[in-house]
Structure 1
Amino acid sequence: MTILLTVLGIVIFAVGLLFSIAWHELGHLSTAKYFGIRVPQYMVGFGPTIWSRKKGETEYGIKAIPLGGYIRMIGMFPPGADGRIEARSTSPWRGMIEDARSAAFEELKEGDETRLFYTRKPWKRMIVMFAGPFMNLVLAVVIFMGVAMSFGFQTQTTEVAGVQKCVISQDVAREKCAAGDPVSPARAAGLKEGDKIVAFNGQRVEDWSVLSNLIRETIGPASITVERDGNEQVLQATLAKNMVAQKNSDGEVIPDKFVPAGYLGFAAATEIVPLSFGDSVDRMGDMIVTGVESIIALPSKIPDLWNAAFSDGDRKDDSPVGVVGAARIGGEVMTLDVPAQNQMAMMLFLLAGFNLSLFLFNMLPLLPLDGGHMAGALWESVRRKLARIFKRPDPGPFDVAKLMPVAYVVAGIFICFTLLVLIADVVNPVKIM
């Protein structure tokens, strides 16, 4: 049964992946057609074609390897300075440029002279290239906001899930009480599992973060109002000074950092709480910031990935994962002993994170990514405006094909990184349980 559920999770994620890719390419396709650019092909996947159908002037299809997709537009690069695309240099670098230029004019038909990609104004080309990643961003936001507002997140509450027996400094690797450890203030005050703290020193509290901050700020006597068996009663406690986990400005725990603060000694219960629209927007913003930071940190993750793939190094929880790793996580989600709605929410959050990663990754200003073509169009616009300001001849379209040698190097780096992540995902995967 576990194997069946794992396979089901992988299939569900694969379907979501295919939809995300198709959705991305639909952004490129719709805007390209809107601006009159001829698009001979719209494909989801790479490799051999397993299904295709031609409608109008475009062939729509699905390929065997669901690791990406593409649309083919006529005239992605301008012709050379001599106006010919047949010229072929013996230089390998020039050869790359000319091969790319020739490919851009594949299937050129009569009348296509006015339907070439490079002939469109820079702002139109930027829209066409941005539309793909933007569709992934829209999908990520819609999924995330929808699940956050309807289902919610696991959130700490002011209810007591357990009471610590003694005071143990949190910066030491010890969980059991030792001789000489003082009794925890919560236990001494008579706090019990199931109590709901409704006020601290007379201040009403409903939010765990507020209560946590009040406790941290207090060392010494404090009154704690709890709701127990439907009635409220006030307990008197003397909070101890202890080393506790440090929090950042967002109230999140900073790993392996501790500060002296007030200590009561209980574990807060958790429950799934739907977020308001404003809180969902804030959480989505945090997710985007975290995504940007993760992409910036990718080079620093390579040594750990290498050790995880080729030696006995641990695979860290924040380690990059590829499509295979994400699919495995999707399979694990379906085997968790949680309600079906929790599994669905986790799968949707996984898909939202994947789409956000697609958006951020494709916005990098590097060929062959969408951001590289956008950067080329932006540079062309700046160059032409400067020419007008200084009354110089129009420099014409910026020849992005000249950057193809760099694009091949970048693509090679990406392929090597993808293979490294793939190997790590197979031999030492990130696990959620």
Structure 2
Amino acid sequence: MLYVLGVLLAVLGIGLSIALHEIGHLVPAKRFGVRVPQYMVGFGPTIWSRRRGETEYGVKAIPLGGYIRMIGMFPPAKDQAEGTMRSSSTGRMSQLIEETRQQALEEVQPGDDGRMFYQLPIWKRIVVMLGGPVMNLLIALVLFTGIFTLHGITVTTPTISSVNECVDIKQMGQQAATECTDDMPVAPANAAGLKPGDTITAINGAPVTTWTDVRTAIRDNLDEPLTMQVERDGATRTLTADPIVLDMPVYTDDGQVERDASGELVTERAGFLGASGSREVEQQPITAVPGLFGDALADTYGLLVKIPQKLVGVAEAAFGSAERDPNGPMSVVGVGRVAGEVASSDVFGDTSDKAILLLSLMGSLNLVLFAFNTIPLLPLDGGHVAGALWEAVKKGWAKVRGLPDPGPVDVAKAMPLAYVVAVAFIGMTLLLVYADIVKPVRLT
């Protein structure tokens, strides 16, 4: 029952995010006088719709996106705008471009002059097209601000929570056995006398304030002798350790282990001590939100850049024996399954902890929607923004040179590429949906 509840909450969150994205387009479009015949959440057959004024509002069956339909999205060909005759187009691409123009002008009615999208000033077109992604960005900002400031983030402190008794070299420093054997060396932290509850304050004379500082200092030290200043029972002690060098996992900037396209751990030769810091949840001041949110946004764009590489790993998992990368891309099906797993499993803590995880999942989803839609390619919002900016450059250059206004940029000429992008997006979606069914991401 809890699993189903988690899935339903995810579906509701995804639907609400899509609906607000389209409202981000709808409100400025109507404000600027553009006629909008349709506002739809989803694709495919219409489940429900109602007309209010000149706009039909509705919900469709497939919750993989949404759209608003504005009249005059693409300008007519230059010779058509000037009222001249043009020769018939013979190429397939030319026909595709011409069909796109005609479809954009089909709904134009008497009295619509001045109400078409392409007739808006450049800055207004940019506002309309960025309205959707910015709405997703604001949703993510609100969610993450609440999480950072009211709940907090998990940080690992330099206070020691555990010390390994020995080192299982075969497990990259992670003690797999419950008992040490004669062939396992004593862990350097254990040999140095480090104990749970000790707080490391300096390594080799350099102050440390976070576990990341401690881990970096130990790894970079390799097998050289290492001196630690520790606080124990209110007193400062100096301990000396002799780290060993192992193949250790590489960590990302946010503290997650790094994996390659196939989901395997990325490793490097690094110093190893055999101790762990304490994990605590710390509320963050509002002044820390911009930096934390900026890091989350940068990580999202970093994931987008790696999508082609990540999809290789997804395919290998879906059609082979490889495991899914928990930090890789998912479809809406995967998001729903993860939400169900969080809601139904006791591993993720009590109800408040699960609620935070689900809110974080929705925040991350909205960051992905923002980042994805700002890619400067049609049919994405960023493609229309790129077209408007290119028009601004052309008009500015013509003005500087004293030339006539070149008119609107013929964005329709980019439609062949837009179809390629759309086909690639559909293929990616189908792969992710299939993988999320046969080999879903597991958090436990």
Aligned residue number for residue 323 of structure 1:
332
Aligned-partner SS, 1:82: helix
- Hey, what does 1:66 align to over in structure 2? 63
CA distance in 2, matches of 1:411, 1:275: 41
Secondary structure of 1:68's counterpart equals strand
Is the partner of 1:313 in helix, strand or coil?
coil
In structure 2, the residue matched to 1:273 is: 282
- 1:330-365 Cα distance to aligned partner (Å, 9 max, x none): 111101211111111111111111111111111111
Q: Distance in 2 between matches of 1:54 and 1:179?
A: 78
Partner-residue secondary structure (3-state), 2:390 = helix
Tell me how far apart the structure 2 counterparts of residues 46 and 262 of structure 1 sit (CA, whole Å): 53
* Equivalent position amino acid for 2:321 in 1: D
Match in the other structure for 2:262: none
From the superposition, tell whether residues 164 and 23 of structure 1 become closer, same or farther in structure 2 (CA, over 3 Å): same
What is the rounded CA distance, in whole Å, between the counterparts of 2:194 and 2:70 in structure 1? 69
* CA deviation string 1:357-404 (max 9, x = no partner): 111111111111111111111111111222222222222111111221
Aligned length: 424
Q: Does 1:399 align with 2:400?
A: no
Range moving further from structure 2, 266-275 or 333-342: 266-275
Structure 1 residues 303 and 246: CA distance shift in structure 2, 3 A: closer
Q: CA deviation at 1:119?
A: 0.7
Deviates more, 1:155-164 or 1:173-182: 173-182
Percent sequence identity is 42
Q: Distance in 1 between matches of 2:124 and 2:69?
A: 17
Unaligned runs of 5+ in 2: 259-264
Out of 8-17 and 177-186, give the one that drifted further.
177-186
Q: Which SS does the other structure have where 1:60 is aligned?
A: strand
- Which residue in 2 is equivalent to 1:357? 368
Give the match for residue 306 of structure 1. 315
Q: One-letter code of the match for 1:120? A: L
Question: Is 2:5 the partner of 1:8?
Answer: yes
Instruction: Provide the rounded CA distance (Å) in 2 between the counterparts of 1:223 and 1:291.
Output: 38
1:105 Cα offset (Å): 2.2
Per the alignment, residue 267 of structure 2 pairs with 257
Letter in structure 1 aligned against 2:225 = I
Map of 1:13-412 to 2, 5 A cutoff? 13-80=10-77, 81-83=79-81, 89=89, 91-167=91-167, 169=169, 171=172, 175-176=176-177, 177-179=180-182, 181-188=184-191, 191-193=194-196, 195-197=197-199, 199=201, 207-212=210-215, 219-220=225-226, 222=228, 224-227=230-233, 232-233=234-235, 237-243=239-245, 245=248, 250=253, 252=255, 256-261=266-271, 263=273, 265-337=274-346, 338-412=349-423
In the TM superposition, residue 308 of structure 1 has moved relative to its aligned partner by 1.8
One-letter amino acid of the counterpart of residue 307, structure 2: L
Name the residue aligned to 2:432: 421
TM-aligned CA distance change 1:137 to 1:47, over 3 Å: same
Deviations along 1:31-86, one digit per CA (max 9) or x if unpaired, are 11121111111111112222222222222222222111111111111123224899
Q: Are the counterparts in 2 of residues 41 and 72 from structure 1 also a CA contact under 8 Å? A: yes
Whether the 8 Å CA contact 1:126–1:377 is kept in 2: the answer is yes
CA pair 103-162 structure 1, distance change in 2 beyond 3 A: same
Please give the secondary structure, in 2, of the residue aligned with 1:352.
Answer: helix
What SS does the aligned partner of 2:242 have? strand
Given that 1:321 and 1:425 are in contact with CA atoms closer than 8 Å, whether structure 2 keeps it comes out as: yes
Whole-angstrom CA distance in 2 between matches of 1:119 and 1:90? 29
- Relative to structure 1, the CA distance from residue 384 to residue 225 in structure 2 (aligned partners, 3 Å threshold; closer, same or farther) is closer
SS at match of 1:51: strand
Shift of 1:132: 0.9
Q: Is the 8 A contact 2:162 2:275 kept in 1?
A: yes
Question: CA distance change for structure 1 residues 365 and 331 in 2, over 3 Å: closer, same or farther?
Answer: same
The alignment yields a C-alpha RMSD, in angstroms, of 3.0
Whole-angstrom CA distance in 1 between matches of 2:12 and 2:393: 41
Question: For 1:119 and 1:144, how far apart are their aligned partners in 2?
Answer: 38
Residues 178, 132 of structure 1: alpha-carbon distance in 2 compared, 3 angstrom cutoff: same
8 Å CA contact 1:97–1:401 kept in 2: the answer is yes
Give the distance between the partners of 1:416 and 1:189, measured in 2 at CA: 55
CA shift in 2, pair 1:262/1:172, >3 Å: closer
What is the CA distance between 1:266 and its match in structure 2? 2.5
TM-score by length of 1: 0.88
TM-score between both structures, scaled by the size of structure 2: 0.86
Question: C-alpha distance in 1, partners of 2:93/2:252?
Answer: 50
The CA distance in 1 between the partners of 2:254 and 2:332, in whole Å, is 32
Say which is worse superposed, 216-225 or 401-410, in terms of deviation. Answer: 216-225
Q: Would the alpha carbon gap of residues 330 and 71 (structure 1) be closer, same or farther in structure 2, given more than 3 Å must change?
A: same
The one-letter code of the counterpart of 1:366 is: L
- Alpha-carbon spacing, 1:399–1:204, altered in 2? closer, same or farther (3 Å): closer
The answer (yes or no) to whether the contact 2:24–2:132 under 8 Å persists in 1 is yes
Kept in 2: contact 1:243–1:258 (CA 8 A): no
Distance 1:192 1:78 in 2: 72
Task: Mark the CA change 1:130 to 1:251 in structure 2 (over 3 Å): closer, same or farther.
Answer: closer
Q: Which residue of 1 aligns with 2:261?
A: none
The AA in structure 1 aligned to 2:230 is I
Report if the CA contact (8 A) 2:200-2:228 is conserved.
no
Q: 1:222 to 1:56 in 2, by over 3 A?
A: closer
